[in-house]
Amino acid sequence: MTDIFQEVEEDLRREKMKRLWSRFGVYIIAVAVLIVVLTAGYRGYVAWNTSRERAAGDEFIAAATAAETTRTPTSAEELQAFADDAPGGYGMLARFLAATTFHQAEQTEQAIGLLRELEVDSGVPQLYRDLARIRLAHILIDEGDAAAARQEVAALAEDTNNPWSQSAQELMGLTAYMDDDVAEARRWYTRLQEAAESPPDLRQRAQVMLALMAQSAPAATDGASAEETN
């Protein structure tokens, strides 16, 4: 009797499976095919993207080498054109290098324009948008525009949690010195000299600037005393 019940149970199970397969078999096959297609497609995309990034890397190195060698507006424009279609971070790096090359080629407006674009590009990580501000401030200082340079980095200088804060503080001190605001310049350089987190080379530059201001202060005082005596 037990064997009969087992056979009946197996028949019922097979019949149930047939009914389920007749109803849902096509969907099961479709899902399986979709999984295979998606897996193959993903692997194909990874291979294509890897190949594309390698090619972009080679192209960037070639463009960067040409820019470093020639330092002409043409090489900067080639970097800019490369940046328009470059994948990943290569486009961002090319824009930074193009700005530097434009500046070296005395095409300052183009350099400033590129850096300002990087500043406001939401697709660029904030770390590098802040770096664009630092780089732009350097160029503005070279152009003698201390006020504009100060405006670029003032917020960064006050934000001690920002990785570029110390660099911004140095630029704030330099712009104050350019404007003959010695007290403000001394405040920024003293802050850098005393900060434990200041890199050694930056602390050394701060010491040099403080020593320079200390040497010039007596001469300025003597000159003012002489004028009062006359």
**What is the rounded distance in angstroms from the CA atom of residue 79 to the CA atom of residue 66?**
9
Amino acid at site 70: T
**What are the residues whose beta carbons fall under 8 Å from the beta carbon of 86, sequence distance 6 or more?**
56, 59, 60, 94
48-74, pLDDT tens digit by residue?
445 555 655 666 666 667 666 667 888
Sign of CA dihedral 92, 74, 134, 151: negative
Q: How far is CA 93 from CA 11, 58, 127, 198, in A?
A: 69, 13, 13, 26
Amino acid at site 152: E
Q: What are phi and psi of 162, to 5 degrees?
A: -80, 135
Q: What is the pLDDT along the chain (230 residues), one digit of tens a residue?
A: 555 546 556 655 666 666 655 666 555 555 555 555 555 554 553 444 455 556 556 666 666 676 666 678 888 888 888 888 776 678 888 889 899 999 988 999 999 999 999 999 998 999 999 999 999 999 999 999 999 999 999 999 999 999 999 999 999 999 999 999 999 999 999 999 998 888 899 999 999 999 999 887 655 445 444 444 44
**What is the rounded distance in angstroms from the CA atom of residue 115 to the CA atom of residue 112?**
5
Residue 172 structure tokens: 């704030």
Burial pattern 78-93, b for ≥16 Cβ within 10 A else e, equals: bbbebbeebeeebbbb
How many other CB atoms are there within 10 angstroms of residue 101's CB atom?
Answer: 29
**What is the rounded distance in angstroms from the CA atom of residue 120 to the CA atom of residue 97?**
17
* Whole-structure pTM value: 0.69
Cα torsion through 95, 200, 186, 196, rounded to 10: 110
180: left (phi over 0), alpha (psi -120 to 50) or beta: left
Say how many residues make up the chain: 230
Sign of CA dihedral 158, 159, 164, 166: positive
Q: Which strand (E) or helix (H) includes residue 42? A: helix 2-70
**What is the rounded distance in angstroms from the CA atom of residue 132 to the CA atom of residue 54?**
26
